[in-house]
A and B are shown apart, each in its own frame.
Chain A
Amino acid sequence: MVDLFDWDRFFTNIPQIVAYLPVTFKIVFYATLFGVILALLVAVIRIKKIPILHQVAGIYVSFMRGTPMLVQLLVVFYGIPIVMQQLFNINVNRWDKIIFVYITYILNQGAFLSEIFRCSILAIPTGQLEAAYSVGLTQFQAFRRIILPQAVRVAVPSFGSDFIGLFQNTSLAFLIGVVDIMGRAKTIGTATKHVLEAYVFIAIFFIIISLLVKGAFYLLDKKLAYGR
């Protein structure tokens, strides 16, 4: 057998894999941006217990949290076109595959983050809200000035670990043929017949990312720790 690992191959692989970083980052970016918006909506719906929407949100969150991401990706990829065809008679089958990946990750993040946000908001004692009302703040002002700053502080650590998880989850996108860094590692393996070097690089990359994210959230956490 030839050597399984070779440093030359390791270094020639790096630029080829790095070229696909934007794909991974884009998934993370869209999932976080729209995920946060969606999560805020869902969190508010569930805290306010808005009829119908509240139940729908509950089912949505438990589905997203209770099924593997892989299943969600396939449901979105094959299921959404069927639903769209039936309801609106639009053929979305030929959409770029990356759009289905974005939708999946946004929906998934929306659910996970909504629970983080919901808990963080509920963690603030109701007494504070009552106190805010008693000095004449409106509902929005009370939320904006009293609840939100404290809730953010509670949410940051969980948000950080969720964010690291999101980075790792992006590697599933390759299943439907979206080539991200994981997919590129695998396809390099196919083309060159040697895959271990590419995998090792991916592992190092994910470790670095998780350390960076962890560090950033640690700093953020420290910065937000006013009055402690």
Chain B
Amino acid sequence: MSGDDPIAAFRVEAGDLLEGLEQALLDLSHQLDNRGLIDAVFRGLHTLKGSGAMFGFDALATFTHHCESAFDRVRKGLTPATPELVSVILSAMDHMRALVEGDGAGLEAVGSDILARLQAALGDAEQPESAAAAPVAAPSATQSAKGWKLFFRLPPGAMANGTNPLILLDELRDLGEAQVVAVVDDLPNLPDLVPTDCMMGWQVELRGNISREDIEDVFIFVMDDMELRLEPLESEEEAPVAAQVETLPDQSAALATADPSAAKAATPRASESVRVPAERLDILMDRVGELVIVQSRLSQLANSGVEGAAGELALRSISEEIERLASELRDTMMVLRMVPVASLFNRFRRLVHDLSRETGKTIELVTEGESTEVDKTVTEQLADPIVHLIRNSCDHGLETAEERLKAGKPAAGQVKLAAQHAGGEVLITISDDGRGIDRARVRAKAEANGLIQPGQVLSDFELLQLIFHPGFSTAAQITNLSGRGVGMDVVKRTIEGLRGSIDVASEQGKGSTITLRIPLTLAIIEGLLVRVGDGRYVIPLAAVEECIELPVSEDLRMRGRSMIQLRDALVPFLRLREVFNTGTEPDQFQKIVVISTGGERVGLVVDQIIGSHQTVIKSMSSLHREIASFSGATILGDGGVALILDVMHLVAFGQQREARLRAVG
């Protein structure tokens, strides 16, 4: 467990550091003069070097040191940051990752190559500073004597700064037989005495085989500020005291003897741990607490010998409690494995950056819904398919800058990754604004591979589905970008292996969108809990733009209208009381929750906004599943049930209603 193993903890930390560094470098490549980013990169390299050295990752520390020095020049303004430099450091990250995971054996060539490129990027032939070599211990003269006579006085402020003269005296006493005499000549009069000031001196006679270093070592922290007079009691030899050069056991030697095998010890891969928000652990703790209580009730019952109906009843009650707790524990545990897709999406920033360089096209990656949560194993299995889809978009989908400009599009192509929950599923879309799928080419390829007959009539949908056919991409790979043996058919199979489905939509000249639908055994929603009449409802927080008070006067003015004035805009609104036909009277002070999705907005009028609420989406039985306004239900803290509003449907409904009312006049 990384909690007890510093090496494992270091690996995890190094992983995070490298990830953070990568993101900062990618940001830097778009803003080369951003001081904040430059400092952040430097700090990251510096920390990585220091920690690496501390835990025995010498190759890593040395390599990182060179990168850090290079970046120090940028930080000091001696060299500008260039895209070339950023790219080299990004490659250096990969090398560092390898060094963190292993011991660097066999990677020296790679390392030297990168450092050479680093030098080239810095634009001069200056040799990199030599690695932080172990400092050579300054040979110092030592004298061994039968004893020493010394006098020392500390600066007045020494005690306030944590130096304890009594401990220093104890240290001296440890060196040999000591006689200590306090020297109080300089003590001021009592009224002038500042108790925290050290005004005393000490005279110490030390007998034993003690070296000067030993004594100086005692005073190492205060050496610069104190008064120290030292003379040997008698020297061993009358001969001139030759400076005996003695190498101090320097710390780097100590470091070298730190067990190198510790670094190679098999440790669990960093990716096998999961970051868990503390609140989820609190919930787990609560459940465990309840379980403990129920267990003691069971134990009591077992020992009480109550029989018959009373005993059965008590047993049944306990059994029900346990069933409830087991179910909740199961839910809570699954929740712990949920991670936001941001962790997945971030990996692709680097990919798009590299693809942009390789293809020579300017490509932007836009992400949406990064906070959508998905089970950890699902993110891992989605990585490869999404990489392939992104490569497809960058390689085939997006046009070159000139083509785009000619077509009236912005020069930079856009790849968009979006994630959202829809009931018990997560929807991930990969879309681009490129040239779209060329139906004629698909058809030609399908015919060439014998998937369809020439002249066979197919709907557009069927035609597009052909790209997922195993036999479709057997024709020679166009470029090596989309190679790697991952065809669209493999993508489809992987998604289906997750019990999901994949869809493609494409408009020629405009772009393509691939939609992955993955069912989740469990989905978490961060929601806004509201009350309408007697019922409580949860609105996905991600869709909530704002909440506004609805004054009574405004409410009256809204009668018969279809829109409300929201600052400068008119927004359609829905009174949920009416939509859900609660049959209750409205609260005096109603609220409007403005929700938005896909750029469209609707204001929902509710009676009360209760608060935000994080909870598990429970899907409903097939009897209720198709009700469009709700995407599921959830259990609240008091055991009650709240329905989760389907934002997309309500927004569409609000817009339609508004259009209808407007048409009617």
Q: Do A and B come from one complex?
A: no
Report which A residues bind B (CB closer than 8 A).
none
Report which B residues bind A (CB closer than 8 A).
none
